[in-house]
Structure 1
Amino acid sequence: MPLLQSDELSLVADIGGTNTRVALSRGAELQAGSVRRYRNAGRTGLEPVLQQYLQELGQPAVAGACIALAGPVRDGAGEMTNLDWKIDNKTLRQATGARRCDILNDLQAQGYALGHVDPDHTTPVFTGRSAIPAAHAPSLVIGIGTGFNIAPVIDFPGGRIVMPSETGHINLPLQDEQDQRLNRYLTREFGFPALESALSGRGLQAIYAAMMPENASKTAPEATRIMAALQERSDPVAEQAARQFVSLLGTVTGTLALIQLPFNGIYLVGGVARAFAPWLDEFSFATAFRNKGRFSEFMENFSVFLINDDYAALTGCAVHLDGIR
């Protein structure tokens, strides 16, 4: 692939299930005032979005383009999990005119952003026994938004490796009768009890629905209404659903910590993660995280942080392009 010069402009984009964010970067830095956000609903694909963006900014020449998408990526092509879009390097090159084009999974982009996000946008959820980074130990990014996914991050002397994943589509873990009830509901409604069907925006609605009687005439409220009711303390079922969400998130995050051993930190990202930040302590996220039997004391080695930067994936795309100049 052609190399980029440090003074050349690149286009970077983060495609979620609901919105696409686009920006210009020079090296690893986003260009001030260049970020735009576009709703995906009603659009046939990414190419018109990027063409509209470049037109709005006066058709700047871009030498590189890197996009992060919420879905699996393989051999320069990706398919959105929660949107009917397929994207490849050819489409990206046609839309932007860039000579270098790369496609990442969105959580990979979040992984590349670690260490490049403003520290003011990173908040500790809880800190483990040691805050001193371990040499070459992994970090772990967990994304909770329209969907759910993870990306392990390892820094070597030769550079950073961020592994792709589709963890959101594994089976929901089951610990108690409440989980069993949710499992039955997801299986009945969707045919398979996937993790992201519970730990996502629509997942909160599914947890609420699973708590309703099966013959209930009303449908469960959307996630934004559940969170509003939680804030107002106006709906006991909303609070019960939020508690189960946080407990399940803690359990899953703890399990992933044992799998990946991310001694350099676990980073929660995404709109749903940010929405639940005020409730993690009250609803005992840390307790659920550390509830691993004889390994409960070992779980105190890990730290969890929340990234509040909505544009971190854009930064990650820029860092990725800059690192392969």
Structure 2
Amino acid sequence: MSSPETGLSLVADIGGTNTRVALARGPLVDGASVKRFRNAEHDGIASVIAAYMEGCGVSDTEITGVCVAAAGPVRDGVAQLTNLDWRVDREILAGALTAGKSAVLNDLQAQGHAIGHIASTNLQRILPQPAHSPHAAKLVIGLGTGFNACPVFDTEAGRFVPPSEAGHVSLPATVPGLSEILPEIADSHGFPSVEEVLSGRGVGTLHAALHGVHAEAAEVLAAMEARDAAALETGRLFVRVMGAVAGDLALGHLPFAGIYFVGGVARAFAPWLDELGFAEAFRSKGRFSTFMEQFGVQVVTDDYAALTGCASHLSRL
């Protein structure tokens, strides 16, 4: 396996509302160089990169590579963002910079490439991680504006993080209390996908389905802190769906090296996972319930992990 390159690169993480851009040396992101841009003020990633380069104090010719993480499906190096009318591909990146290397990743793929480069202080343990082989699979699960998941494989040829769109599979109707409200949480096409619950907007959708009152995720979480009974009921069902879906994904990928939750919603619910029954829902797999104890679970609290993943991936190209 070749050693990572140490040239100067530009990395970016495009979310639904903001884009973060930074400089990196090899797989290490310069935290002081991180800047945030409002997507509404730009017409695409090229405009964001131009704005960043104007004030970063580095010339175009010093940048040897550029990698962008996009919140949307990526196919053959082309990303169409799910919650933003932007298209990102290598040609756009080549037009924005003269860097010799370029890459476009799904945002969860970028998080997968970051695993192993995140400080232990930015990892919150939810379930203990048993011993495992060096090449055991990992699994990254993202809960934020949307939902997605991707496995992480460390092979002799390098790290492989295949993309997916796991947020658009069906919700597990076996979770107690969920099947009765599935018609009320279906999307505009009548399909109750995982993302309709396990996302920022999903918290409010679930609360409305249970109690007939719309509330934003932040409002539900604040009410949970105040021990409001209705909000706690919403939170409990959310956490149990989170556990059940994570358990299903674990059985599909066998991540013996651990499961890593990322994203703002995952971080917000992390303090509630123990109280509201995450472990029970995660391991409730019939005769495979004991088998589920082989999968550790952590929450990544590093908000810049996707940038780190972009830098790590680019340094190996």
Normalising by the residue count of structure 2, what TM-score does the alignment of the two structures yield? 0.94
The match for 2:162 is 163
Q: SS at the partner of 1:178?
A: coil
Alignment of 1:50-61 (within 5 A): 50-61=49-60
Alignment of 1:297-308 (within 5 A): 297-308=290-301
Seen in structure 2, the aligned counterparts of structure 1 residues 23 and 176 have a Cα distance that, compared at 3 Å, is closer
* 1:177 Cα offset (Å): 6.1
Seen in structure 2, the aligned counterparts of structure 1 residues 119 and 19 have a Cα distance that, compared at 3 Å, is same
Seen in structure 2, the aligned counterparts of structure 1 residues 34 and 141 have a Cα distance that, compared at 3 Å, is same
Seen in structure 2, the aligned counterparts of structure 1 residues 146 and 27 have a Cα distance that, compared at 3 Å, is same
The match for 2:224 is 230
The match for 1:289 is 282
Identify which range, 179-188 or 289-298, moves more after superposition: 179-188
Alignment of 1:188-207 (within 5 A): 189=188, 191-207=190-206
Which of residues 257, 260, 263 in structure 2 aligns to 1:267? 260
Q: State the distance in 1 between where 2:308 and 2:138 align.
A: 17
The match for 1:24 is 23
- 1:240 has 2:241 as partner: no
Q: SS at the partner of 1:211?
A: helix
Identify which range, 181-190 or 118-127, moves more after superposition: 181-190
Deviations 1:245-290 (A, max 9, x none): 1000000111111110000000011110000010000001000000
Assess if the C-alpha contact under 8 Å between 2:195 and 2:202 holds in 1.
yes
The match for 1:10 is 9
Q: SS at the partner of 1:153?
A: strand
Which of residues 293, 306, 311 in structure 2 aligns to 1:313? 306
* 1:297 Cα offset (Å): 0.8
Assess if the C-alpha contact under 8 Å between 1:145 and 1:201 holds in 2.
yes
Assess if the C-alpha contact under 8 Å between 1:181 and 1:210 holds in 2.
no
Identify which range, 97-106 or 142-151, moves more after superposition: 97-106
The match for 2:127 is 126
Seen in structure 2, the aligned counterparts of structure 1 residues 231 and 60 have a Cα distance that, compared at 3 Å, is farther
> Structure 2 counterpart of 1:267, which letter?
Y
Q: State the distance in 1 between where 2:103 and 2:181 align.
A: 39
* 1:156 Cα offset (Å): 1.1
> Structure 2 counterpart of 1:220, which letter?
H
The match for 1:105 is 106
Q: State the distance in 2 between where 1:289 and 1:170 align.
A: 17
Q: State the distance in 1 between where 2:147 and 2:51 align.
A: 29
Seen in structure 2, the aligned counterparts of structure 1 residues 63 and 227 have a Cα distance that, compared at 3 Å, is same
Assess if the C-alpha contact under 8 Å between 1:251 and 1:288 holds in 2.
yes
* 1:41 Cα offset (Å): 3.3
The match for 1:216 is none
Q: State the distance in 2 between where 1:255 and 1:188 align.
A: 22
Assess if the C-alpha contact under 8 Å between 2:4 and 2:27 holds in 1.
no
Deviations 1:142-183 (A, max 9, x none): 011001111101111221111111000111110156212331
Identify which range, 154-163 or 139-148, moves more after superposition: 154-163
* 1:40 Cα offset (Å): 2.3
* 1:81 Cα offset (Å): 1.2
Q: State the distance in 2 between where 1:184 and 1:43 align.
A: 38
Q: SS at the partner of 1:321?
A: helix
Unaligned runs of at least 5 residues, structure 1: 214-218
The match for 1:35 is 34
User: What's the C-alpha RMSD, in Å, of the aligned pairs?
Assistant: 1.9
Q: SS at the partner of 2:22?
A: strand
Q: SS at the partner of 2:133?
A: coil
